[in-house]
């Protein structure tokens, strides 16, 4: 007879939870996305969130979505998935899984494919109708990267910090 806890979080809850926690580090006032890269044997390899590259000050570069071509965040931000890939210092990500709170755009899909990541578990897919996401799925389909939507369990986790 085992006295093991039965209400522990699942692997999916754990890794999506870490991805979402990473997203909470983002300074973007409109969109906070987090990613978590996991090995096949369920070890966390890397994490990332959307933000500006190193040396590009969060206080000096623009966070707005409108304005001239050089005045919006779009030309400067690095997405969470790419940051998670670039943050990894351990070697190859071949065969790894990526958990992300928003479906990867086409630019991140290229990086995911080229890094050798073979599975994407995403939460929100609110940009499914945009060219960026349609192109992303087309490339991942062609490259054999599997993707599946995270299934919500509606578990609430409160962490006092």
**Which residues in this chain contact Zn ion in the complex, by CB under 5 A?**
79, 105, 108
Residue 108 or 121 with smaller CB distance to Zn ion: 108
Q: Which residue has the tokens 């599946």?
A: 148
CB of 42 to Zn ion, least distance (A): 25
Q: Smallest Cα–Cα separation from 38: which of 25, 47, 50?
A: 47
Sequence length of the chain is 161
Query: Shortest distance, CB of residue 107 to Zn ion, whole angstroms?
Result: 5
81 is catalytic: yes
Contact 135, 113 (CB under 8 A): no
- The answer to the question of whether 64 is labelled as a binding residue is no
- What's the rounded Cα separation, in Å, for the pair 159 and 24? 13
Q: Which is nearer to Zn ion, 16 or 133 (CB)?
A: 133
Supply 47's token pair. 């994490």
| Catalytic residue of the set 60, 81, 107, 160 | 81
Q: Which is nearer to Zn ion, 9 or 134 (CB)?
A: 134
Task: Please state, in angstroms and rounded to a whole number, the distance separating the CA atoms of residues 121 and 150.
Answer: 6
Angle at 51 between CA 45 and CA 53, to 5 degrees: 85
Tell me: is residue 105 an annotated ligand-binding position: yes
Q: Considering the complex, what minimum distance in angstroms separates the CB of residue 79 from Zn ion?
A: 3
Q: Which residues are annotated as a binding site?
A: 79, 105, 108
Residues marked as catalytic: 81
Q: Which residues are annotated as a binding site for Zn(2+)?
A: 79, 105, 108
């Amino acid at each position: 007879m085992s006295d093991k806890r039965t209400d522990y979080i699942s692997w999916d809850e754990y890794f999506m939870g870490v991805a979402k926690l990473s997203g909470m580090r983002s300074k973007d006032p409109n969109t906070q996305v987090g990613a978590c890269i996991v090995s096949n044997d369920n070890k966390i390899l890397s994490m990332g969130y959307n933000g500006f590259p190193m040396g590009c000050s969060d206080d000096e570069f623009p966070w707005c979505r409108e304005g001239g071509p050089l005045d919006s965040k779009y030309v400067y931000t690095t997405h969470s998935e790419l940051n998670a890939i670039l943050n990894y210092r351990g070697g190859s990500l071949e065969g790894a899984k990526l958990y992300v709170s928003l479906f990867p755009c086409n630019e991140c899909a290229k990086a995911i494919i080229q890094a050798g990541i073979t599975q994407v578990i995403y939460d929100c897919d609110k940009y499914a109708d945009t060219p960026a996401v349609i192109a992303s799925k087309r490339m991942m389909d062609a490259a054999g990267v599997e993707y599946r939507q995270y299934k919500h369990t509606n578990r609430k986790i409160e962490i006092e910090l």
